Amino acid sequence: MTTEAESASVVLGVSGGIAAYKAADLLRKLTEAGHEVTVLPTRAALQFVGEPTWAALSHNPVATDVWTDAHQVPHVALGRRADLVVVAPATADLLAKAAHGLADDLLTNTLLTARCPVLFAPAMHTEMWEHPATVANVATLRSRGAVVMEPGYGRLTGTDTGRGRLAEPVEIARLAELLLRRPTALPQDLAGRRVVITAGGTREPLDPVRYLGNRSSGRQGFDLASVAAARGARVSLIAANVELPAPAAAELVPVTTAEQLREATLAAAKDADVVVMAAAVADFRPASLAESKIKKSGAPDAVELVANPDILSELVAARAAGELSPRVIVGFAAETGDAQADALTHGKQKLVRKGCDLLVVNEVSATTVFGQPDNAAVILGRHGDQVEVPLGPKTVLAAALCDGIAQLLAGKLTG
């Protein structure tokens, strides 16, 4: 298996649903990442997107049956050399065949021979996703180590709306990249857990058009929500001013200001197992809000600021008082070194002050972390443990943080 950002052999299976057109975008993202992709559409999938499209985008020939180039035994060769198999969309029919080991085409044969990670991205009508047969098939696949994403909620075929929408290609691609780097990154160790995650950066209005804010894109929090959901968690994602497609399985709660984020977080934390404060919350806000746009000619010499609430400390205090239930509370610290200490030392001091269970320390600058696809951090534990996560995709840091959260949950449950 590949553990670095190197070219990998990826099989992209496409089954016969209307969402097959989105797989073309996923294919593009996988090839642009430098991976060698072989597309295996089912016969039904070719009714939605034709063979020339898959061949042109993948730069590889396309086959659907085991008889093409039979002398090369493709259903065995493809499975053996694959570093990852992604099936998107995965229909109810495809999930049923995979769960029961049926093999009537090249894709389902390859699923039986593959010994690499397998990622299914389902797409179907709500009634089909919720049917006991599909529920059982998904449980079977997960019990065997396959990763089955939860579909999103939204517009389906025709006028239908509900659970069953294919996850966005960008989310599928990020989870695929994570599995190529860490094949065991998505176990079901958060199954049934309620996880609340904040993301993005708050904005504190100064007048009707201006605000005080920061450069946080929310990408780390969104990737954390995606990874936690893939590990079985029920995720509530409180997003402050984030312009990214929401993870398919997360319940999205949009907010703007620090006070709105505080209210939403405290409400969601009442029945949560885990709260992760990944949002960049403004420390201060203007003391007053101008009713109309401040003109250049009438600009004040200074803007009076007042402190925003310390939500992380409030969560820890409320848990200690028995008012909230989270077993694990995680903070984020965007730090820079100064004359007094380096960024990590500042982070360790913050962990003591805040009293949370884990603290993710990022050393930030004008060109790192915020808005970037990669991140590096040190995860500090309240018992003195320390995990360094080198620079890499933010999903890798998310997986490392979920490792720590799962270990804390297991320790509390047994002790």
Enzyme catalytic residues: 214
- 94 residue type, one letter: L
Distance between CA atoms of 35 and 40, rounded to whole angstroms?
15
User: Cα separations (Å) of 382 from 13, 223, 330?
Assistant: 44, 24, 10
End-to-end, the C-alpha distance of the chain in Å comes to: 36
Four-point Cα dihedral 302, 307, 308, 312, nearest 10: 140
* 192, two tokens: 């049934």
- Angle of helix 394-414 versus helix 169-181 axis, rounded to 10: 70
Distance between CA atoms of 368 and 34, rounded to whole angstroms?
23
| CB-count exposure of residue 42 (10 Å: 0-12, 13-18, 19+) | buried
Distance between CA atoms of 143 and 141, rounded to whole angstroms?
5
| DSSP track, 1-12 | ---SS---EEEE
- Residue 89, classed as helix, strand or coil, is strand
* 413, two tokens: 């449950």
* 166, two tokens: 């294919």
Residue 203 · residue 191 · CB < 8 Å: no
CA 59 to chain centre: 29
* 200, two tokens: 């993005």
Helix segments in 355-415, DSSP class H: 394-414
User: Cα separations (Å) of 374 from 278, 306, 390?
Assistant: 15, 33, 10
* 168, two tokens: 């966005």
CA 138 to chain centre: 20
